[in-house]
DNA sequence: ATAGGCGCCTGCTGGC
DNA sequence: TGCCAGCAGGCGCCTA
């Protein structure tokens, strides 16, 4: 579900609620398997530990503990990580409950579809090794223009697939890929290697702009996304193409199209974002 | 080696 | 009204 702006919002919401707090106890609230299995031994390693840092890397949420270990959460499609009052009813599909030392407060991990995970890493080296093994790429705001251009130049994949490839740039998913391609006026099916230098740069800037604005609006709430304190996002009100098939393009009035590409629905303006063959003609 | 497709899950929507 | 296919903010594994 959540992409970078949603994860960033959750981290910003959770930070003041969790920093300096201790985890009193951890318990599983379901026996169901997550994408990465929860190790029963981790509860003992977490009990009594203080949360010293709450941060994000790509779509991963990282809690640094005073033991030097890291609790790392991925929300998959439907994950939620929220602080709640202990007497709030525990919603169905809640998998982990972390009691905080602040009386009556809990951190809860809920995930309907269970594509998400929560894992403990013993130290910084283990955490970095895990990210490296996943090939986690640079943050979009720190994306080197030349590295980005080369990543595109070296592949025949559709530019949309490159944008969503977490090893090239971390944090972009389906919504923000579509919105960024619209801002950059690039058709999602354009081959990476067919993009000009100017187009690659336009896209790099568009991604940063779209993500920044989405963070300002606390991300996008389509279905079940909520921030760390349960508040919804507002960027869905600013979608230009995502989920707007058949509606007029906000730039030129042509009807927004929707097509399956690299296994995902892609939304774009057929006029502002010329298809690969016509894009070639337009370049000449 | 690369790129596309499928499976993992549950729940909701829209069309019949 | 009811049912069922299709689809959903992600990602890892398999195969061609």
User: Which residues form the domain of A187?
Assistant: 140-268
- Residue A9 is assigned to a structural domain of this protein: yes
**Which residues face A267 on adjacent strands?**
A258
Mean of the per-residue pLDDT values of chain A: 94
DSSP state of A107: E
| Same domain membership, residue A262 and residue A219 | yes
Q: Which pLDDT belongs to residue A284?
A: 42
Would you place residue A229 in the very low, low, confident or very high pLDDT band (cuts 50, 70, 90)? confident
Q: Which two tokens stand for residue A16?
A: 């003041």
Q: Integer distance in angstroms from CA A36 to C1' C12? A: 11
For strand C, is any atom closer than 7 Å to the CB of A3? yes
Would you place residue A263 in the very low, low, confident or very high pLDDT band (cuts 50, 70, 90)? confident
Alpha carbon distance A284, A274 (integer Å): 13
- Please tell me the pTM assigned to this model: 0.96
| Same domain membership, residue A125 and residue A148 | no
Residue where a domain terminates, one of A133, A149, A177: A133
Q: Integer distance in angstroms from CA A255 to C1' C11? A: 31
What's the domain count of chain A? 2
pLDDT at A84 over 60: yes
pLDDT at A202 over 50: yes
pLDDT at A26 over 90: yes
| Same domain membership, residue A166 and residue A80 | no
> What is each CA distance from A9 to A47, A98, A234, in whole angstroms?
26, 20, 11
- Residue A127 is assigned to a structural domain of this protein: yes
Would you place residue A280 in the very low, low, confident or very high pLDDT band (cuts 50, 70, 90)? low
Residue with nearest Cα to nucleotide B4 C1': A262
Count CB-CB contacts under 10 A for residue A191. 16
Alpha carbon distance A259, A262 (integer Å): 10
pLDDT at A176 over 90: yes
- Residue A278 is assigned to a structural domain of this protein: no
Query: Which of A3, A6, A8, A199 is flagged as catalytic?
Result: A3
| Same domain membership, residue A100 and residue A74 | yes
| Same domain membership, residue A244 and residue A178 | yes
Nearest nucleotide to A1 by CA–C1' distance? Answer: C9
- Residue A275 is assigned to a structural domain of this protein: no
Please indicate whether residue A59 is annotated as part of the active site.
yes
| Same domain membership, residue A10 and residue A110 | yes
| Same domain membership, residue A123 and residue A200 | no
| Same domain membership, residue A151 and residue A113 | no
């Amino acid at each position: 579900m959540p992409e970078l702006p949603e994860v960033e919002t959750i981290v910003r919401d959770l930070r003041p609620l969790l920093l300096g707090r201790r985890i009193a106890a951890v318990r599983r609230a379901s026996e169901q398997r997550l994408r990465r299995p929860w190790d029963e031994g981790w509860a003992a390693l977490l009990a009594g530990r203080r949360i010293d840092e709450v941060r994000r890397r790509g779509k991963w949420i990282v809690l640094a503990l005073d033991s030097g270990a890291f609790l790392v959460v991925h929300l998959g499609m439907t994950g939620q990580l929220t602080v709640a009052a202990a007497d709030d009813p525990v919603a169905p599909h809640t998998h982990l409950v972390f009691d905080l030392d602040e009386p009556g407060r809990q951190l809860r991990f809920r995930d309907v579809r269970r594509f998400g995970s929560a894992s403990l890493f013993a130290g910084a080296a283990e955490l970095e090794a895990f990210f490296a093994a996943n090939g986690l790429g640079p943050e979009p705001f720190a994306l080197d223009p030349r590295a980005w251009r080369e990543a595109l130049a070296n592949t025949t994949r559709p530019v949309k697939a490159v944008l969503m490839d977490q090893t090239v740039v971390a944090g972009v998913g389906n919504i923000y890929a579509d919105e960024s391609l619209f801002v950059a006026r690039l058709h999602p099916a354009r081959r990476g290697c067919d993009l000009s230098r100017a187009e690659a740069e336009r896209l790099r800037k568009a991604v940063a702009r779209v993500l920044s604005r989405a963070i300002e609006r606390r991300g996008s709430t389509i279905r079940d996304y909520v921030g760390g304190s349960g508040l919804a996002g507002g960027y869905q009100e600013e979608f230009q193409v995502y989920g707007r098939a058949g509606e007029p393009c906000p730039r030129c009035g042509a009807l927004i199209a929707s097509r399956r590409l690299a296994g995902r629905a892609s939304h774009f303006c057929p006029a502002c974002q010329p298809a690969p063959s016509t894009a070639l003609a337009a370049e000449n």
